Amino acid sequence: MKKYLFKLLCVVLIVGLAMPAAAATQQSEEEILFTVVFKGQSSPKNAEKVISDLGGEIVYSVPEIGVVQVKAPANFAKKAIGSSAVSAANPSLLFQLPEVKSIPLESNEINTEEAYLFDEFQWDIKRLTNNGATFAEHSGSHDVVVGVIDSGIDLNHPDVLTNLLPGSKNFVPPGGVYGVDGSETGDVNDVQDRNGHGTHVAGSIAGNGAMLGVAPNVGHKAYRVFGAEGGAYSAWIMAAIVAAANDGVEVINMSLGGIYAKGQIFYTDPETGERVRLGSDIAEYVAYTRAAKYAESKGALIVAAAGNDAVDASSPKNVTDFANSQYGTLGYEFKGASVFAPASIPNVVTVASTGPKDELALYSNYGAGFIDVAAPGGNYEMYMQYLTEGNFNEYLKERLFEKEFAFSSVPDVKYILNDKEQVIGYEYVSPSYAWNVGTSMAAPKVAAVAALLFDEYEGMTPNKAKVLLKQNAEDIDKTGTDKEFGHGLSTVYSLFE
């Protein structure tokens, strides 16, 4: 007999990979945030003096990889790149996660022993675990930890608390991304998820209760870089990568990313018509590359979402064209090569998203040499069909989202807004669940599979793990590699058979 403990508020169309926006237009003309990469692999001892002499002030620092975020006048970058101590500098990029809606509980009576929600809703986890058969031999342990760099974790949700280990950290500074969120105090221990994205991801990895993750006994920690608004600067993300690596996690999940221009970005002011060259995003990309290498040197494998833009990301020109199509109306123009990161970084495992019939999801990025493996992140094929045909109410009534969206844990929260519709606080309501769709939902499943590798084989390294994931993926289209799924679907049973 079915047990329904929820009411549907809304269905999330796309949840996952956020696109960065050049932050230059989001600051005042007097002060802009810049990302600066020093020439050394770590920050020099006189970093503050170097930046001060250039007319800036360090507001965020990741010394292990020689990266700082600087507040300075608009002409700072030109001065900085002329310094013998600086490798690259550009306006900081601001990442925005899409809004996450949850399906809140009507009752707090959760039976965490039967895992009945696994049987009801988790077609995606069943696909990778042979309907749960792999749990008997390959469910993970707390000897292996997955670090989830995201919006935090619901500290009240029983399904994700079972395997949450001590040591989670917060990287959101006081005030949050816009400086007005009173709930953001900068407390390093404040990892409570206000957004839902991170808890959904964590549930897919290590959920163990009413619903189950791919590795329901593996350990996990939260590294919170997104607040309620879903915004984060790259420096916060780099700091989280470094911290997770220093903490000794074996796998880092990054269901986030953005477009980085290796060429040039121009901005035309709609009021004055003035065209300004903003430079490139090379500092951000170099920082990501350094952070990924640092993680690898510490024994951590990074797994990243491919992106939700239906773009052939193997072509830098395609990525540039897409960036112009998205941001051109806002006054931005991208020239030269552009890439997605962290997905395009060589030592990262990049994950495409599939639907319930092993099809490439309509939104998933793809590309030969760009995609390593694939996993179920859900699809919205029926959603679009019913919406286009004017039968969307029937789609909701028949609960067809259960057949194509990915189900997992989330917190139910209410936001407190100011008169500018900015989040200035939140109220926690209860643990809940949501059906989401996106490459953000695909990546954590591969992170969980990778964690099982580290748990099974002593002395496993990031490079070996990436090779084994690719070699043992299940072919779901053409034999061998292809541009849609890379080496194939990353399942637990194909890895250990």
| Dist CA 223 CA 201 (whole Å) | 12
What residues does 348 pair with on adjacent strands?
Answer: 302
- Start-end of H helices in 178-315: 197-206, 234-246, 282-297
Number of continuous H segments (helices) and E segments (strands) in the chain: 15, 22
Q: Do residues 88 and 102 touch, judged by C-beta distance below 8 A?
A: no
Burial of 76 (0-12, 13-18, 19+ CB in 10 A): buried
Tokens of 56: 């800036």
**Active-site residue, 281 included:** no
What residues does 428 pair with on adjacent strands?
Answer: 413
For the stretch 23-30, contacts whose Cβ atoms lie closer than 8 Å and that sit 24 or more positions apart, written own/partner, are 23/91, 23/92, 23/93, 23/94, 23/233, 24/74, 24/91, 24/267, 24/278, 25/267, 25/331, 26/94, 29/74, 30/73
Which entry of 138, 197, 200, 220 is annotated as an active-site residue? 197
**Active-site residue, 430 included:** no
Burial of 274 (0-12, 13-18, 19+ CB in 10 A): exposed
Cα angle 23-228-57, degrees, rounded to a multiple of 5: 40
What secondary structure, in 3-state letters, does 358-399 show? CCECCCCCECCCCCCEEEECCCCHHHHHHHHCCCHHHHHHCC
**Active-site residue, 440 included:** yes
Between strands 348-354 and 373-376, the pairing is parallel
Q: Which of 362, 409, 149 is nearest to 255 (CA)?
A: 149
Q: Do residues 267 and 196 touch, judged by C-beta distance below 8 A?
A: no
Which entry of 43, 61, 124, 150 is annotated as an active-site residue? 150
Which entry of 168, 183, 440, 490 is annotated as an active-site residue? 440
What residues does 351 pair with on adjacent strands?
Answer: 305, 373
- Start-end of H helices in 81-150: 116-121, 123-129
- Tell me which residues are annotated as active site: 150, 197, 440
